[in-house]
Amino acid sequence: MNEKQLLKRINGKQRGGCFLQRFLAFGFGAFLLGMGVMLWFRNGFELAVPLLIILSLPPLYLAILAADDTVDSWFSVLEIFR
Protein backbone atom coordinates (compact mmCIF):
# COMPACT_ATOMS: atom_id res chain seq x y z
CA MET A 1 0.00 0.00 0.00
CA ASN A 2 1.54 3.29 -1.03
CA GLU A 3 1.38 6.56 0.86
CA LYS A 4 -1.52 8.01 -1.14
CA GLN A 5 -3.74 4.97 -0.50
CA LEU A 6 -2.82 4.97 3.19
CA LEU A 7 -3.74 8.64 3.58
CA LYS A 8 -7.04 8.06 1.78
CA ARG A 9 -7.82 5.15 4.10
CA ILE A 10 -6.97 7.11 7.25
CA ASN A 11 -8.99 10.15 6.16
CA GLY A 12 -11.94 7.92 5.27
CA LYS A 13 -11.95 6.38 8.73
CA GLN A 14 -11.89 9.76 10.45
CA ARG A 15 -15.27 10.79 9.05
CA GLY A 16 -16.87 7.44 8.27
CA GLY A 17 -19.32 6.97 11.12
CA CYS A 18 -21.70 8.92 13.32
CA PHE A 19 -24.23 9.40 10.52
CA LEU A 20 -27.21 10.01 12.80
CA GLN A 21 -25.30 12.39 15.04
CA ARG A 22 -24.00 14.33 12.05
CA PHE A 23 -27.50 14.41 10.56
CA LEU A 24 -28.97 15.80 13.81
CA ALA A 25 -26.20 18.39 14.11
CA PHE A 26 -26.70 19.47 10.50
CA GLY A 27 -30.46 19.71 10.97
CA PHE A 28 -30.10 21.83 14.10
CA GLY A 29 -27.49 24.09 12.50
CA ALA A 30 -29.55 24.50 9.33
CA PHE A 31 -32.63 25.31 11.44
CA LEU A 32 -30.78 28.05 13.34
CA LEU A 33 -29.31 29.44 10.13
CA GLY A 34 -32.73 29.43 8.46
CA MET A 35 -34.30 31.20 11.43
CA GLY A 36 -31.60 33.87 11.30
CA VAL A 37 -32.12 34.46 7.59
CA MET A 38 -35.92 34.53 8.02
CA LEU A 39 -35.63 37.09 10.82
CA TRP A 40 -33.32 39.17 8.65
CA PHE A 41 -35.83 39.30 5.79
CA ARG A 42 -38.84 39.78 8.02
CA ASN A 43 -37.66 42.30 10.62
CA GLY A 44 -34.52 43.74 9.10
CA PHE A 45 -31.07 43.47 10.60
CA GLU A 46 -31.21 43.34 14.40
CA LEU A 47 -29.20 41.69 17.17
CA ALA A 48 -30.92 38.30 16.91
CA VAL A 49 -29.78 37.79 13.31
CA PRO A 50 -26.00 37.63 13.87
CA LEU A 51 -26.50 35.72 17.12
CA LEU A 52 -28.52 33.00 15.38
CA ILE A 53 -26.06 32.83 12.50
CA ILE A 54 -23.11 32.56 14.90
CA LEU A 55 -24.95 29.92 16.96
CA SER A 56 -25.51 27.85 13.83
CA LEU A 57 -21.78 27.52 13.08
CA PRO A 58 -20.72 24.93 15.74
CA PRO A 59 -23.40 22.36 14.79
CA LEU A 60 -22.62 22.85 11.11
CA TYR A 61 -18.91 22.36 11.85
CA LEU A 62 -19.70 19.14 13.71
CA ALA A 63 -21.84 17.92 10.83
CA ILE A 64 -19.48 18.74 7.98
CA LEU A 65 -15.84 19.02 9.04
CA ALA A 66 -15.28 17.37 12.42
CA ALA A 67 -13.68 13.97 12.94
CA ASP A 68 -15.73 11.15 14.45
CA ASP A 69 -14.09 11.32 17.88
CA THR A 70 -14.99 15.02 18.12
CA VAL A 71 -18.61 14.31 17.23
CA ASP A 72 -18.77 11.45 19.74
CA SER A 73 -17.31 13.59 22.52
CA TRP A 74 -19.79 16.43 21.95
CA PHE A 75 -22.74 14.07 21.95
CA SER A 76 -21.43 12.32 25.08
CA VAL A 77 -21.55 15.70 26.82
CA LEU A 78 -25.26 15.87 25.97
CA GLU A 79 -25.82 12.51 27.69
CA ILE A 80 -25.11 14.18 31.03
CA PHE A 81 -28.50 15.92 30.79
CA ARG A 82 -30.48 12.67 30.55
With 0-12 / 13-18 / 19 or more C-beta atoms within 10 angstroms meaning exposed / middle / buried, residue 58 is: middle
What pLDDT shows up at residue 30? Answer: 96
3-state secondary structure of 16: coil
Q: Residue 29's pLDDT is what?
A: 95
How high is the mean pLDDT in each 10-residue block of the chain (82 residues)? 70 66 92 94 91 92 82 81 72
- pLDDT of 12 reads 60
Q: What is the pLDDT of residue 81?
A: 76
Question: Which pLDDT score is estimated for 13?
Answer: 55
What local confidence, expressed as pLDDT, does residue 50 receive?
93
Please tell me whether residue 5 adopts helix, strand or coil conformation.
Answer: helix
> Quick one: pLDDT at residue 11?
63
